[in-house]
Amino acid sequence: MSAARKGVPLSEVHKKAISAGKKGKPTKPKSKAHKKAISAAHKGVPLSEAHKKAISAGMKGKKA
């Protein structure tokens, strides 16, 4: 589609979304309901040892 739109300026909203995406941030923030649904889906799922170590290191301010 980009070839068809050559020469068309991007809107400010689109520019911000592209910039945020390049910085590794989500372009659309998740709603509270979405976050709760994800959290509920993961309840009761055991964490791997590697994941536990990564969480522990993150809480101590270190990289895993």
**Spatial distance between the Cα atoms of 64 and 42, rounded to a whole number of angstroms:** 22
Q: Where are the domains of the chain?
A: 12-59
Whole-prediction pTM: 0.30
Predicted local confidence at residue 53, as pLDDT:
86
pLDDT digits (tens, 9 = 90+) for 13-60: 888 877 777 776 666 667 888 878 878 777 877 778 888 888 888 888
Q: Is the alpha carbon torsion for 37, 41, 44, 49 positive or negative?
A: negative
**Lookup: tokens for 28:** 């659309």
**Spatial distance between the Cα atoms of 29 and 19, rounded to a whole number of angstroms:** 15
**Spatial distance between the Cα atoms of 43 and 36, rounded to a whole number of angstroms:** 11
Q: How many Å separate Cα 20 from the centre of its chain?
A: 10
